[in-house]
Structure 1
Amino acid sequence: MSSTSISPDKAKKARTVAVASYIGTTIEWYDFFIYGVAATLVFRAQFFPEFSELGGTLAALATFAVGFIARPIGGIVMGHFGDRVGRKSMLVTSLLIMGIATTLIGVLPTYDQIGVWAPILLVVLRLAQGAGVGGEWAGAVLMAVEHAPPKRRSLYGCFPQLGLPSGILLSQLVFLVLTGVLPEAAFSAWGWRIPFLISAALILVGLLIRLRIEESADFERVRAAGQVEKLPVVQVFRRTPLQVLVGSVASIAAPTLGYLVSVYMVSYGTNTLELPTTTMLWTLVGVSVLWNGIMLAAGLAGDVLGRKPTFLIGAALSVVWAFPMFWLVDTGSLFWIFVALVVITAANSIMAGPQPALVTEMFPVRLRYSGSSICYQIGSIIGGGVAPILATTLFAKFGNPAVSTLIVVISLLSLFAILFAGQRILQAQEPTAPQAQQSRLQPLAE
C-alpha cells in the first residue's frame, strides 16, 4: 500500500478479517493438537499395543510427525492456487480437508478391531490433516496482513498465529473435561474420540465465518494488472532462492519451541516426572492463556521496534533459557514448571508474533502465498515434526542436556538467518507490470 492510513470502513474490514483468521486457525490447530495430545495419552495402547512402552510412544509420536510430511505438499498445492485464483478459496478448502480428516479419526477402529489396518488408516488421515494445515497458515496470514493498515501489519499478522496457543488451550480444556468426567478405562476405550468428533461442529462455524470475508485487495490488484504467475511455486525457487533459504531457517525455532512445550513436555511430565496427566494439561492451559497475550504484544512490537529486532530478542531468549528450563522442570514443583514453560513460550511468542509479516514481506504479492507457505512448512517440518521425536530419542540416550542443546542449536540457526539477512531479502520490491514481465527471467535475490 502506498498510503499511510485507511478509511474507517476498510479498518473495520481489516479487523473482521483478522478475527476471522484467528478463529479459523484456532479451529485448525485444535484439530491438529488434539491428535498430539491423544498420541501422547492413548494412541500407544489403541494403535500400537505390540510395541514396548518407549517404542509405542515413539510410534505414536511418529504418526504425529507424519502430518508434517504432507504439510509442504498442501502448502505447495494451495500456494499455487492461492497465488493464481485467490487466498479465500484456499482457506475454505484447507478447513474442509482438516475437518473431515479429524472427524474420521474420531470413528476410526483400533488395532484390536481391525489389526494393522488401524495404524495404516491413522497415518492416512494424519497425512490429510497435514495437507489441510499446510495450506492454512499462509492463506490466513496473507488475508490478515494484506487487509491490515500499513503500519499495523505485524500486529494484524499475528492474529492467525494466536490460533496456535488458542488451539492448544482449547484442546487441553476438552481433554481435561473428559479425563475429569470419565473413568480412565472409559476415556481410553472411547472417550478420546469425543474431541475429534467435536471438530465437525467447529468446522461448520469456521466455514460460516470464512465464507463472509472478502478477497485480499493486494491479490485483486495483481490479478487486475495481469501479473498472476502461471507457475508461482517454480518462480519462487527460480527468482527468490535466498528469501526461501532465510525464511525457512528463520521459521524453524518458533515451531520447535511450540511443539516441544505442547507435545514433548506432556509426555515428559507424565512419563518421566510421573505427574498426573491432568496436572500437566492444566499447566499448559495456564501457559496458553499467557501465550496469547505475549504473542499480541510481540506482534505490536514488530510494528513499533521492527520485525527483525523483535524476532532476534525472542531467538536470543530461547538460547539463554534452554538449560534453565529443564533445571526448573526437573524440580517437580508445579510453580517452577509453570515458570519454565511461560518463559520458553514467551521466547516462542516474541519470534512468532512478527514472523508472519517478516516472512510474507520477503516475497512480492504475486508469489507471496507460495513463498511464505514454503518457508513456513519447511521450518515446521524440522521444528515441529522432527524435533519432538529427536528430543525423545536424545533424552532416552543422553538426558536433558542433549534436549537443551538441541534447542540452542535450532534457535541459533534461526537467529543467524535473520541477523545476517539484508534489507533486499527482508523487503520485496513490487515491480510495475512491465517490470514484472521482464523480471520473470531474473532472480530477485543476487
Structure 2
Amino acid sequence: MSLDTASAGSPAAASAPAPDLAHLDPAVRRRESRRVILSSYLGSTIEFYDFLLYASASALVFPTVFFTGLDPLAGAIASYGTFAAGYLARPLGGAVFGHFGDRLGRKKMLVLSMLIMGVASTLIGLVPGAATIGSWGAVILIFLRVCQGIAVGGEWGGAALMALEHSENGKRGFAASFTNAGAPTGAALGTFILGTFAAVLPQEEFLAWGWRVPFLLSFALLIVGMVIRAKISESPIFEAALAQEEAQKAAGETTRKKLPIIEVLRRPKALLLTMFAGASGFGLQVLLATFAVQYSTEAGSERSSVLYAFALASIFSIFFVVWFGHLSDRFGRRPVMIAGLILFAGFLFPLFGMLTSTNWFVLLLAFTVALGLHGMIYGPLAAFIAEQFGTGSRYTGASLGYQLATLLGAGFTPTILATLYAGPGGGTSIVPVAVFLGGMAVVSIVALVLTRESKDHDLATHEH
C-alpha cells in the first residue's frame, strides 16, 4: 500500500497520530519548524552556491579555459552546452532521490545529495584546462556537472518538503519559499567571490587559477552543511504516514504497494502542469545568471562590475522571494505567479536597454527589478509544486515536476539565447531573445490557469 493511500481515509489513517504533532507543545513545534526552515535555507544556499557558480563561470571563464580552439561566440555556446548537462541530470536525481526519500525519509537523502554536490564542485576547481590535457578537460567538466545535476535534483525536493511539512497550514508558502531563497543567496555568494577574484587579479592569473578558488571553497561549505543537516528532525507528516502504513500491515491489510514514480505517472496531469508552469521562471532565472551578464560585459561594462551588480541584486531578491511566498499564503499561488510572469515579460526590452549602460547603478537597478519580478514567480513556486502531490509520492512528484521545469526552462536556454542573439546573417539582435522569453511566459501562464489553486490543500489527506 502506498503512503498516498495510507494518508487518505482508511480506518488506520483515522486513528493514526496527527501529522502536525498536535500532542506536542505549540512552542516546541514552532521552534522545530523554524530550525528546519533555517536548515532548508542554509542547505539550499550551499547547494545552489555550487550549482549557480558554474553558471557564472560558464559565461566568463570556461570558453577561454576549456574551449580555446573556438571563436568567442562558439566557445560561449559550447560552454553553455556543458552547463545544460547539469539540467539534463536533474530529473534523474529527482527520480532517484525522490524514490528513496518517499521510502526511507527526507533527511537521509538531503545529507547524501549535499555530499555528492560538495565533492563534485570541489573537483571542478581541480580540472586541468585545455592547454594541459586538451579536450579531456571538457569531458571531465561535463561528468562533474552531471554529478552536480543529480545532487541538486535530489536536494530541492527534500529541502522544500522538510520546510513545507513542518509548517502550519496557512504558512506553507512562506516556509517553503526559504528553500527557493537559497538559490539567490547561493548565486550572490558565488558571484561575489568569483567577482572579487576577477577584480583583484590580472585577467591572465584569474583565468589561470583565480576562478578555481570559489569551487575549492565548496569543501568548507560542505562540512558546514553536513553539520546543519545532521541536526534536523524527520518530516512529521512523513513519519505519521509511515506509522499509518505500519499499522495497516499489523492489522493484516496487505494491499500491493506501488512505487512512488508509478503513483506520479499514473496521473500525469499534475506533473505536466507543474513542469510547464515553472518552466518560464527558470528560463528568466538563467537569463539573468548567464546571458544578461555576458550581454552587459560585451556592451562595455567591466566583468567585475557586472558580477557585483548581479550579486547585490541577488541579495535583495532573497527578501522578494520570501515576501511573495508569504503573499501567496494570502492571495494564492497562481495569482502571484501569473502577475510576476506578465510583469517580467513586459520588462524584457527595458531590461536589455539598461544592461547596455556602463553606469553601475543602472546595472544594479536592472538586475534588482528583474530579480524582484522573478521573485513573484519563484517565491510561491516551491509550495505550489509540492502541494500537487500526496505524501507517499510527494518527494518524487515535487522533485520531478521541479527538475523537469528547470530542464525545459533553463537547461538549453543559454545556448538558445546565444544562438538567437547571434542571428543567421552575422549580426546581433535582442528581439528574437525577448520574443522567445515572452513565449515561454505565455506557456507558463496557460499551465497555471489550468491548475487548481493549492494553498488550502490538506497535506495529510491530499492525493495528487
TM over 0.5: yes
Query: 1:181 deviation in Å?
Result: 2.5
Q: Give 2:7's aligned residue.
A: none
Q: Give 1:65's aligned residue.
A: 84
Pairing of 1:259-298 with structure 2 (within 5 A): 259-271=286-298, 273-298=299-324
Q: Give 2:111's aligned residue.
A: 92
Q: Which amino acid in structure 2 is aligned with residue 247 of structure 1?
A: T
Give the stretch that moved more between structures: 148-157 or 200-209: 148-157
Residues in 1 aligned to 2:429 and 2:363: alpha-carbon distance in whole angstroms: 18
Query: 1:328 deviation in Å?
Result: 2.7
Contact 1:82 1:90 in 2 (8 A): yes
The unaligned stretches of length 5 or more in structure 2 are 1-17, 247-255
Q: Which amino acid in structure 2 is aligned with residue 250 of structure 1?
A: A
Q: Give 2:353's aligned residue.
A: 327
Residues in 2 aligned to 1:358 and 1:34: alpha-carbon distance in whole angstroms: 26
Residues in 1 aligned to 2:118 and 2:224: alpha-carbon distance in whole angstroms: 11
What do residues 184-221 of structure 1 show as CA deviations (whole Å, max 9, x unaligned)? 21111111111111000000000000010000001001
Does 2:291 match 1:256?
no
The unaligned stretches of length 5 or more in structure 1 are 433-443
Q: Give 2:129's aligned residue.
A: 110
Does 2:167 match 1:139?
no
Q: Which amino acid in structure 2 is aligned with residue 294 of structure 1?
A: F
- State which of 369, 385, 405 in structure 2 corresponds to 1:379: 405
Residues in 2 aligned to 1:119 and 1:12: alpha-carbon distance in whole angstroms: 46
Residues in 2 aligned to 1:382 and 1:195: alpha-carbon distance in whole angstroms: 28
Give the stretch that moved more between structures: 280-289 or 126-135: 280-289
Query: 1:354 deviation in Å?
Result: 0.9
What do residues 53-82 of structure 1 show as CA deviations (whole Å, max 9, x unaligned)? 111111111111111111111010001001
Query: 1:413 deviation in Å?
Result: 1.1
Residues in 1 aligned to 2:82 and 2:88: alpha-carbon distance in whole angstroms: 10
Q: Give 2:429's aligned residue.
A: 399
Give the stretch that moved more between structures: 224-233 or 402-411: 224-233
Query: 1:40 deviation in Å?
Result: 1.4
Contact 1:83 1:229 in 2 (8 A): no
Contact 1:25 1:163 in 2 (8 A): yes
Contact 1:291 1:345 in 2 (8 A): yes
Query: 1:266 deviation in Å?
Result: 1.2
Query: 1:428 deviation in Å?
Result: 7.2
Query: 1:327 deviation in Å?
Result: 2.7
Residues in 2 aligned to 1:329 and 1:428: alpha-carbon distance in whole angstroms: 44
Pairing of 1:43-442 with structure 2 (within 5 A): 43-226=62-245, 230-238=258-266, 240-271=267-298, 273-397=299-423, 399-423=429-453, 427=457, 431=461
Residues 1:229 and 1:30: Cα distance change in structure 2 (over 3 Å): farther
Q: Which amino acid in structure 2 is aligned with residue 20 of structure 1?
A: S
Identity %: 35
Query: 1:334 deviation in Å?
Result: 3.3
Give the stretch that moved more between structures: 45-54 or 226-235: 226-235
Contact 2:332 2:455 in 1 (8 A): no
Residues in 2 aligned to 1:425 and 1:16: alpha-carbon distance in whole angstroms: 23
Contact 1:152 1:303 in 2 (8 A): yes
Q: Give 2:9's aligned residue.
A: none
What do residues 126-181 of structure 1 show as CA deviations (whole Å, max 9, x unaligned)? 11011001111111000000001212110000001011110111011111221233
Counterpart secondary structure, 2:65: helix
Contact 2:20 2:166 in 1 (8 A): no
Query: 1:431 deviation in Å?
Result: 4.9
Residues 1:26 and 1:251: Cα distance change in structure 2 (over 3 Å): same
User: What number of residue pairs does the alignment pair up?
Assistant: 432
Counterpart secondary structure, 2:241: helix
Give the stretch that moved more between structures: 166-175 or 313-322: 313-322
Residues in 2 aligned to 1:70 and 1:232: alpha-carbon distance in whole angstroms: 19
Query: 1:267 deviation in Å?
Result: 1.2
Residues in 2 aligned to 1:285 and 1:342: alpha-carbon distance in whole angstroms: 10
Counterpart secondary structure, 1:144: helix
Residues 1:120 and 1:350: Cα distance change in structure 2 (over 3 Å): same
If the length of structure 1 is used for normalisation, what is the TM-score?
A: 0.92
Contact 1:24 1:210 in 2 (8 A): yes
What do residues 387-422 of structure 1 show as CA deviations (whole Å, max 9, x unaligned)? 111111111116111111112111111111112323
Give the stretch that moved more between structures: 108-117 or 118-127: 108-117
Query: 1:331 deviation in Å?
Result: 4.3
Aligned alpha-carbon RMSD (Å): 2.1
Q: Which amino acid in structure 2 is aligned with residue 285 of structure 1?
A: A
Residues in 1 aligned to 2:257 and 2:85: alpha-carbon distance in whole angstroms: 31
Q: Which amino acid in structure 2 is aligned with residue 141 of structure 1?
A: A
Pairing of 1:3-18 with structure 2 (within 5 A): 7-18=26-37
Counterpart secondary structure, 1:421: coil
Greater RCO, 1 or 2 (C-alpha within 8 Å, sep 6+): 2
Contact 1:287 1:341 in 2 (8 A): yes
Query: 1:333 deviation in Å?
Result: 3.9
